[in-house]
Structure 1
Amino acid sequence: MSISAHNLVWGVRHKTIVADVSLSVAPGETLGLIGPNGSGKSSLLRLLAGLKQPLSGRVEILGQDIARVPRRTLARQVAFVQQNAATDTNVSVRDVVRLGRTPHRSALSGWSAADEAVVSAALERVDMTGHRAQAWQTLSGGERQRVHIARALAQSPQVMFLDEPTNHLDIHHQIEILRMVRDLDLTSIVALHDLNLAAMFCDRIVVLKAGAVVDCGTPDAVLTETLLRDVFRVNAEVCAGPIPCQTHIRFKAA
């Protein structure tokens, strides 16, 4: 397995936010994390990426306990894309993507042709080469998310974590971003709030409620009318197509 979590527990001020979570992700798989607001999706994602330390339990990436992996080494293996990373600094798209090379460079090393090649390849992968000199502040929301992903790709990771990367984007850009993530040659874990997008683009889905795993499996197996009612408190009709990625949810008015 690329990623495995074993009995993760985390919380603050005597409140448990992630409750005894165990899961595994296969190489090249796209795993979706879904659940109501406050279910622990973002906290679990940060635990899996090593950005938070669990109170108990452990995370293994590529067979290594990440608690024993130096931070710089871990940053070469995994990348994290936030919901709405922002900056007021007047920087270009290329400058933002260049930050992804930081884990691979020492304090005294200069910028190399190899670094530039990686940045160029990352920009090309997200179809932003033509914007490399453009100012960050002039980009649309969808373009900024593409640049975030390019910066993550510049880290040359094997695993990518994405925290609601389609938040506040229109439907065209939501589909565009998730299709691009799915087509990357990486293991990906993505927290999503849109259930239909999770069904379209994730190989498997983990459903969280109150910090605990309620169910895990393919979208067509997990997204049932009973689960939607019990976990999300909505009435819906689940329309299953001939293949799992065609599972579609129609919400019913109360």
Structure 2
Amino acid sequence: MSVLARDLSWGVGQKTIVTGISLSVKEGETLGLIGPNGSGKSSLLRLIAGLRRPRSGTVEINGRDISGVSRRSLAREVAFVQQSASTETSVSVRDVVKLGRTPHRSALAGWSREDEDAVRGALERVDMAGHSSQAWQTLSGGERQRVHIARALAQTPNVMFLDEPTNHLDIHHQIEILRMVRDLDLTSIVALHDLNLAAMFCDRIMVMQGGTAVACGTPEEVLTAPLLRRVFRVDAEISCEASCGRPHIRFAL
């Protein structure tokens, strides 16, 4: 499914947080959102995912304006993975992933074969099937994040939004999770802090600053030394990795 946003703006009270942003994401493409803290990445994600209503502008998913779509119906097509989530309740990994089936089930419906297949398939896709009965509290940070993604996959979405999914993880798990997201073959928009990870795993990158989009294009087009100096206030050398054709950023000391 494709995602199209036109002239989105949103704020709280008198403070404007997102201003006049338009973007398009083709089916199967991964768009990365990067920018300094407070640039509006998380707010923009929530607007596009239908979790917040914009002051102005529209969002279309697969050609349909989401403002006229119920939250339940939208959740059958769109999944949102937040930065982190915790619970003190004693639940198993499987119980957490089962929550992803909520949009597909009525209040009185029993657990179906379709529900079971979706949960099992989601756990297999994130390589957590062997942990299905394990207690949530015993998981590592990287394992918990994979379960978050499995819960989203259990929704059987066509579009996935991820808000800094690698936050607080070690580099091994950062790469592991972003590689997994890329290989899911879904249309996705992901907010990231690490610029090199964005270059490695995103088809295109949008750079945000002060609630607006200041650049959008391929990693090679966007990640330039002048832009990094202007937006992130850092000096850097940009080289192109021969093995993958992606830019690599080396920050100056």
CA distance in 1, matches of 2:242, 2:139: 39
Corresponding residue of 2:68: 68
CA distance in 2, matches of 1:237, 1:167: 25
Corresponding residue of 1:40: 40
CA distance in 2, matches of 1:231, 1:20: 18
Corresponding residue of 2:56: 56
1:13 aligns with 2:13: yes
SS at match of 2:31: strand
Q: TM-score, normalised by structure 2?
A: 0.98
Corresponding residue of 1:236: 236
1:201–1:245 Cα contact (<8 Å) kept: no
CA distance in 2, matches of 1:184, 1:243: 22
1:219–1:244 Cα contact (<8 Å) kept: no
1:9–1:21 Cα contact (<8 Å) kept: yes
Corresponding residue of 1:178: 178
Corresponding residue of 1:194: 194
Instruction: Give, as a single letter, the amino acid of the residue that structure 1 aligns with 2:229.
Output: R
Superposition deviation, residue 15 in structure 1: 1.2
Superposition deviation, residue 243 in structure 1: 6.9
2:97–2:154 Cα contact (<8 Å) kept: yes
SS at match of 2:196: helix
Q: Which runs of 5+ in 1 are unaligned?
A: none
Q: Deviations over 1:67-100 (max 9, x none)?
A: 0011111000100001011111100000000000
CA distance in 1, matches of 2:178, 2:187: 13
Q: Deviations over 1:7-55 (max 9, x none)?
A: 0000112111101000000000010000000000000000000001000
SS at match of 1:189: strand
1:210 aligns with 2:220: no
Instruction: Give, as a single letter, the amino acid of the residue that structure 1 aligns with 2:14.
Output: H
Change (3 A) 1:245 1:80: farther
CA distance in 2, matches of 1:204, 1:88: 38
CA distance in 2, matches of 1:13, 1:244: 45
Instruction: Give, as a single letter, the amino acid of the residue that structure 2 aligns with 1:225.
Output: A
Corresponding residue of 2:156: 156
1:200–1:245 Cα contact (<8 Å) kept: no
The runs of at least 4 consecutive aligned structure 1 residues that moved more than 6 Å come to none
1:133 aligns with 2:133: yes
Instruction: Give, as a single letter, the amino acid of the residue that structure 2 aligns with 1:36.
Output: P
1:199–1:244 Cα contact (<8 Å) kept: no
CA distance in 1, matches of 2:87, 2:220: 39
SS at match of 1:83: coil
Superposition deviation, residue 241 in structure 1: 2.7
Q: Deviations over 1:187-240 (max 9, x none)?
A: 010000000000000000000000100000000110000000000000011112
1:93–1:134 Cα contact (<8 Å) kept: yes
Instruction: Give, as a single letter, the amino acid of the residue that structure 1 aligns with 2:66.
Output: I
Identity of counterpart residues, as a percentage?
74
CA distance in 1, matches of 2:116, 2:71: 23
After superposition, where does 1:95-106 map in structure 2 within 5 Å?
Answer: 95-106=95-106
Q: Which runs of 5+ in 2 are unaligned?
A: none
1:41–1:208 Cα contact (<8 Å) kept: yes
CA distance in 2, matches of 1:113, 1:241: 46
Corresponding residue of 1:3: 3
Superposition deviation, residue 102 in structure 1: 0.3
CA distance in 1, matches of 2:143, 2:49: 24
Instruction: Give, as a single letter, the amino acid of the residue that structure 1 aligns with 2:221.
Output: A
Aligned length: 253
Instruction: Give, as a single letter, the amino acid of the residue that structure 1 aligns with 2:137.
Output: Q
1:219–1:245 Cα contact (<8 Å) kept: no
Instruction: Give, as a single letter, the amino acid of the residue that structure 2 aligns with 1:134.
Output: Q
